[in-house]
Amino acid sequence: MIKNLTLLVFLLAAGILSVVCNGTPTETNGNSPNVRQTPASSTPKTGTPTETTGSLPSDPKSSIAYQFDLIKAGDAEKLKTCLTPRLRDGVTKEIVDKAKTDSAKYTIDDLYASAEMGEADGRKTAKIKMKNGRTLTTLVETDGKWLADTLWFK
């Protein structure tokens, strides 16, 4: 009995030391003692991905939001990097300027209601559905980034 109690105290002390030495947060969300909350200071900022990460987003919804922000800004050159290579030459300043005018009619919630995840040619895909049920575009994961495979803003 004393052996078990000693072992329990030792393990508890080791666990506390591990947390203290590693600086691991121990806050919980109140629902489960095993779910750790991320401290607010380490939570990613909201806004356009260029403001927060400096690179293309790595999830489908953020990718569409990023592309939409580039359209609203009229940035054809950065928008090209959001498309699969076969489409990049089709992006012109004129197309983006027209899309910029049209973008005032939409919100990101209109453009991105859901994504149907799949796979094609060994790559992950995300078929993006609009709020009205129509398909906006299909994104293809390329090097960890989600690139549009259609000129959805044309």
The CATH topology of domain 56-148 is Nuclear Transport Factor 2; Chain: A, (3.10.450)
Q: Residue 58 — very low, low, confident or very high, per pLDDT cuts 50/70/90? A: confident
Angle at 10 between CA 6 and CA 12, to 5 degrees: 120
| Domain spans, the chain | 56-148
* Of 129 and 46, more confident: 129
Between 154 and 61, name the one with better pLDDT: 61
Give the per-residue pLDDT at 154: 86
37 — pLDDT class (breaks 50, 70, 90): very low
Contacts of 88 (CB under 8 A, 6+ apart): 80, 81
Helix-helix angle 93-103:60-73, to 10 degrees: 100
Residues in Cβ contact with 86 at an 8 Å cutoff, skipping those fewer than 6 apart? none
24 or 57, higher pLDDT: 57
Q: What is the pLDDT of residue 103?
A: 96
Q: What is the pTM of this model?
A: 0.65
The secondary structure of the chain as a DSSP string is -HHHHHHHHHHHHHHHHHHHHHT----B-SS-TTPBPPPGGGSPPPS-HHHHTSS--SSHHHHHHHHHHHHHHT-HHHHHTTB-GGGGGG--HHHHHHHHHHHTT--HHHH-SEEEEEEETTEEEEEEE-TTS-EEEEEEEETTEEEESS-TT-
